[in-house]
Structure 1
Amino acid sequence: MKPFVYNSNPARIIFGTGTINHLPDEVKRLGIHRPLVLSTPEQSSHAAQIESLLKADGIEVAGQFNKATMHTPLDVTLEAMKFVTELNVDGLVAVGGGSTIGLGKAIALRTDLPQIVLPTTYAGSEMTPIIGQTENGVKTTQVTAKVLPEVVIYDVDFTYSLPVGLSATSGINAIAHSIEGLYAQNGNPVISLMAEEGIRALAKALPIIVENPIDKEARSDALYGAWLCGTVLGLVGMSVHHKLCHVLGGTFNLPHAETHTIVLPHALSYNAPNIPDVMKRIANALGQEDAIEGLNILLTKLKVKRALKDFGMEETGIDKAADLAVKNPYWNPRPLDRNGLREVIRRAWAGEPAMANIE
């Protein structure tokens, strides 16, 4: 056994069905008296449900802010900060996926307000000390414990409204966290166990959800897998896959989960020659003989789009993305080569099948 260091992030996790009913007690336990409820416009109904639940328990809700936006643009954060100041907010309740959770983190970064998160997707941001913010078309990330939520309430009931297509891409986004966790520079045996279990749970559940979105066991398994994968991401450093997705998403305003879904098999193909043992573990978790082929089979079952051009990225952006990908690089098991990364991006742009490896 190789020497390793294992740290865990502090968090209180409540998992199950109907767990939203724990929210008032958790708000009180944290000493929050005037929470602000955060959501995207699409999740406003969930935000209204949460506000009603809290008010019914005698909690004075400061209000709702339902303008959370993909990639956490600075102007939206600054607008939300005005609400926080003017309404005398002393805590945050975020309901939604990465956009809403990212906004909550951005506010917490500036205020240190306590956060309670109710995830409705499989993105896993709620389990990480990572915050990404976008300004003038450039997305940057930082890692700080200040943005970690104090409480995460996983309620399977809140995931039934997640559309089939987004369930699939959000789940693959989660799998990407665990795949990078398996070859992370600061990985360890505990993280690897969580990563493999997370991949296995999602790979089993997602095809069932695509065929039957209200399958209770599949929805529960997928949320469980997402929690594991998010936990993995929160404990390890990111590598080339996440670097590419941050560049592509922030620069070309591409949808987060869909970008991760498209890039994942190609980024893994780039690293494959340097991580043979990890490739075997991924293949095993996917229930296949080969990791790349396993991902191709899974993505086919999920009926997801495979090309960045389908989401509006122009071919002229390939070289710009390759240039940005080698700036301020993350650690990676294979050295970052511009030509190799350009080929990864080109294949992802064109929607070509992932190769066994990219030279």
Structure 2
Amino acid sequence: MQDFVYQSAPMRVVFGAGTLRQLPYELSHLGVTSALVLATPRQKDLVAGIREMIGERFAGVFTGAVMHTPVEVTERAMETVRDMRADGLVAIGGGSTTGLGKAIALRTDLPQIVLPTSYSGSEMTPVVGQTSGGIKTTQSSPKILPETVIYDVDLTMTMPPKLSATSGINAIAHAVEALYARDRNPLISLMAEEGIRALAQALPTICAQPNDKTARTGALYGAWLCGICLGAVGMALHHKLCHALGGLFNLPHAETHTVVLPHALAYNAPAAPDAMAQVAAALGEPDPALGLQDLARKLGSPLSLREIGMPESGIDQAADLAVKNPYWNPRPIERAAIRELIARAWRGDAPRLSCAGAGLATST
């Protein structure tokens, strides 16, 4: 067994069905007396219920969160925080709302409670990605990590099947990269394989029967495990590519991860055979890259970057950005091979290894 260092996150997790009702206690536990609720306009009924539930602790609501956490949106939210004298945050939603809460916490160190309605997993991490001038960068700080996450399966029951599918594969991407991370460890690897397995089993049922509560519970459980992986170890090529593509072309976050993941996995396959074996075992497929693309196809998810709005003219620009200040990766980052990867993902081709230099060394 390899040497390793493991540090658990100082976070409180409440998991189950109907757990939203514990929000008043969790606010008291954190000493929050004036909570700003972060939500989206379509969650107005849920916000109304929360307002009634927490009473005088409700300071107000901000509904302007958008993908990729633009800095200008965070600045508008900060004005609301100051105007309402909020001393805590309650973020309801997926990655966009959670990201906004984390961006505010980075600037204020206000305590956060997150109520996820998707499988994004970002609630489990001390990392926030922020976009300015079309470039998305990440930052890590203990202030960013939410203090409490309330996982309520009931909040995911109305998530549309297509969003459930891409959000779930986005979560799987966190676990896949955790299996070949430079700072991986046995506990996180166990969580990663179990998280992939839980989601791969639950997502087809959810797409066929969206009201299946057992499947919804399994998917949320898997997403939680994959989110822990994302927060515990470093990510690699796949996340670098998705950040570059999302920031450059304002592509939808979960769909971008869904399209790119099989291709990034194929790129790294020769340099990470043990991880590939674990992904294959979790999926029940002999070829994990093809297995992931087949899963996306079965779920009716997009298979090409072209489908989700990336222009073909952007392939070279994306390749240039992907090799600039690259993340650590088990296989060296080579521009020609990365360009081929992006081009295949743009077309929606089957994932295929470009063998030049594959697995001969590791980047540092």
TM-score (normalizing by structure 2)? 0.96
2:266 equivalent in structure 1: 269
Q: Secondary structure at the match of 2:102?
A: helix
Specify which of 87, 111, 115 is matched with residue 112 of structure 2.
Answer: 115
Please list every run of 5 or more consecutive structure 1 residues that lacks an aligned counterpart in the other structure.
none
1:207 aligned to which of 198, 204, 209: 204
Q: Give the structure 1 partner of residue 15 of structure 2.
A: 15
Q: Tell me, in whole angstroms, the C-alpha distance in 1 between the residues paired with 2:42 and 2:117.
A: 12
Superposition pairs for residues 191-340 of structure 1, below 5 Å? 191-340=188-337
- How far apart are the structure 2 equivalents of 1:7 and 1:357? 36
After TM superposition, list the pairs within 5 Å mapping 1:142-157 onto structure 2: 142-157=139-154
Percent identical residues: 62
8 Å Cα contact 1:207-1:301 kept in structure 2: yes
Q: State the shift of 1:354 in Å.
A: 1.4
Shift of 1:358: 5.6
Tell me whether 1:24 sits opposite 2:21 in the alignment.
Answer: no
Aligned equivalents of 2:246, 2:44: Cα separation in 1: 24
Deviation, 1:41, is: 2.5
1:355 alignment partner in structure 2: 352
CA separation in 1, counterparts of 2:354 and 2:277?
14
For 2:52, give the aligned amino acid: S
Measured after TM superposition, the shift of residue 45 of structure 1 is 2.9
How many angstroms apart in 2 are the aligned matches of 1:149 and 1:169? 24
User: Which stretch has the larger CA shift, 160-169 or 43-52?
Assistant: 43-52
Query: Mean Cα displacement is larger for which, 286-295 or 146-155?
Result: 286-295
Q: Which letter does structure 2 place at the counterpart of 1:107?
A: I
Alignment match, 1:5: 5
What's the CA shift for 1:132? 0.4
For the 8 Å contact 2:293–2:303, the answer to whether it is kept is no
Contact kept, 8 Å, 1:35 with 1:63, in 2: the verdict is yes
User: Residue 343 of structure 1 contacts residue 358 of structure 1 at CA under 8 Å; is this kept in 2?
Assistant: no
What's the counterpart of residue 98 of structure 1?
Answer: 95
Aligned-partner SS, 1:311: coil
1:294 Cα offset (Å): 1.7
Counterpart residue number, 2:360: none
Residue 177 of structure 2 aligns to which amino acid in structure 1? E
Shift of 1:300: 1.9
Which consecutive aligned stretches of 4+ in structure 1 deviate over 3 angstroms post-superposition? Answer: 356-359
Match of 1:54 in 2: 54
Q: For 1:36 and 1:107, locate their aligned partners in 2 and report how far apart those are by CA, in whole Å.
A: 11
Q: What is the DSSP-based 3-state SS (H/G/I as helix, E as strand, rest coil) of the residue aligned with 2:58?
A: coil
Aligned to 2:40: 40
The number of residues matched between the two structures is 356
State the Cα distance separating 1:310 from its structure 2 match: 1.2
Gaps of 5+ in 2: 357-364
Q: Which moved more, 1:251-260 or 1:349-358?
A: 349-358
118-127 vs 2-11, which moves further:
2-11
Report the CA distance between 1:53 and its aligned residue: 1.5
SS at match of 1:15: strand
Question: Which amino acid is 1:219 matched to?
Answer: R
- Equivalent position amino acid for 2:274 in 1: D
- Is residue 2:80 matched to residue 1:83? yes
Instruction: Say if 2:113 and 2:146, in contact at 8 Å, map to a contact too.
Output: yes
Match of 1:139 among 136, 140, 159: 136
Name the TM-score, length of structure 1 as normaliser: 0.97
1:65-121, CA deviations, whole angstroms, 9 ceiling, x for partnerless residues? Answer: 011110000111000000100111000000000000000001000000000000000
- Alpha-carbon offset, residue 356 of structure 1: 5.2
The more displaced of 285-294 and 197-206 is 285-294
Per-residue displacement from partner, 1:259-304 (whole Å, max 9, x unpaired)? 0000000000100111111111100000112212221221121111
For 1:306 and 1:48, how far apart are their aligned partners in 2?
A: 38
